[in-house]
Structure 1
Amino acid sequence: MAGLRERKKALTRQHIVDTAARLFGEHGYDQVSVVDVARAAEVSDQTVYNYFPAKQDLVLDRAEEFSERYPRMVRERPAGMSPAGALREIAEADLERHRRVTPEQTRGELPAICASSPTIRRYVLEMRDNHAETVAEAITETCPDVHPAVARVHAAAIMKALQLMTDRIGQGVLAGTPHDVVVDELTPVVEAMFDDLDRHF
């Protein structure tokens, strides 16, 4: 029974996220309220708040997964691989995902909302700062000879590279630029950024 309840909760959570993304894509983040999301998802306002205590959590839900994933990937990277090398695959996976998804999907996702809503952009940049701190801690743990200040600078540079990619994807979505065009433009830039980060660590 417990397993069934957990699956139902996961389905409800995903349904709310998908509904919110659709509404944000259609109307814009700032024009949609939690009440609007609840009505469209056919759940109570309280149900939405039970899963997402604040409106921005509806957008940042997937991004929060990386709070643990980034430092874990740095800690578990193979010997001889740099921290940037460990996180490069996330950037590459995001680019390939953007190539596959439809324009309708991307209009309600984080990059486009980050590019169109100053409120969400502020939260995202704060989140990047937090991620940089946890990645720096992981670097210090796995590279004891690296000064903590150097680790913080390197982690901040990695997060900046990821944010630059997010920004360009979001701008492309808002401008209606074909996904293939954006990905083909970004791929060599992302490779160059991470190659440079590799060389300087």
Structure 2
Amino acid sequence: MMMNLFSSFDPTSNFNLSLNWISTLIGLLIIPPMFWLIPSRMSMMWLKITMTLHQEFKILLGNFKSQGSTLIFISLFSIILFNNFLGLFPYIFTSSSHMIMTLSLALPLWLSFMIYGWINNTIHMFAHLVPQGTPPILMPFMVCIETISNIIRPGTLAIRLSANMIAGHLLMTLLGNTGPTMTLYMLNILIIVQILLLTLETAVSIIQSYVFAVLSTLYSSEVN
């Protein structure tokens, strides 16, 4: 029995192992049949998605530095999409709703971009701290604002993903818990609302994984 709504997101452990974190790897079980067996509609669809993402990320990164770089962000999109989507199934742990998962994706990426940028393009990184056309009197304030906005980037990436996953799941849990006390007429309405919410959450799962990958790509393009 749940003590509160947020307990539905609590990790559980057996034999001192958090076995529900293994749900992060369930998506890997879907991939081998798609790519190593006879090509199917699903594999062709995924190939089309991958090529579309490659073209978009190539434009964001710039043609001269996109060779192979887009694979990192396509892989990032794939693992977040799998985790978000699998979390919609009953009894599957939604790992992307936890900050430990989202921050561990965002922080190493941001750190690697910052280290690369400050070592190889120091002047360019300093120039980013003062937007073009800033009056001289405002330059110290703009440097502080730009520095803070740069530092909080991994936090905003992580919070955006986990908060969007938690919000929809909480709403579905809250509405689902009111079901036993409802009349038959209201129960039919509740089922329709839950189906609509599930459709919305499916769209949110795709959109949030795309947003995470695109913002990571934009942060990468700024350091070059």
Scaled to the shorter chain, the TM-score interval is 0.3 to 0.5
**Bigger RCO (CA 8 Å, 6+ sep):** 2
Say which one has the larger Rg: 2
TM score, norm. by length of structure 2: 0.38
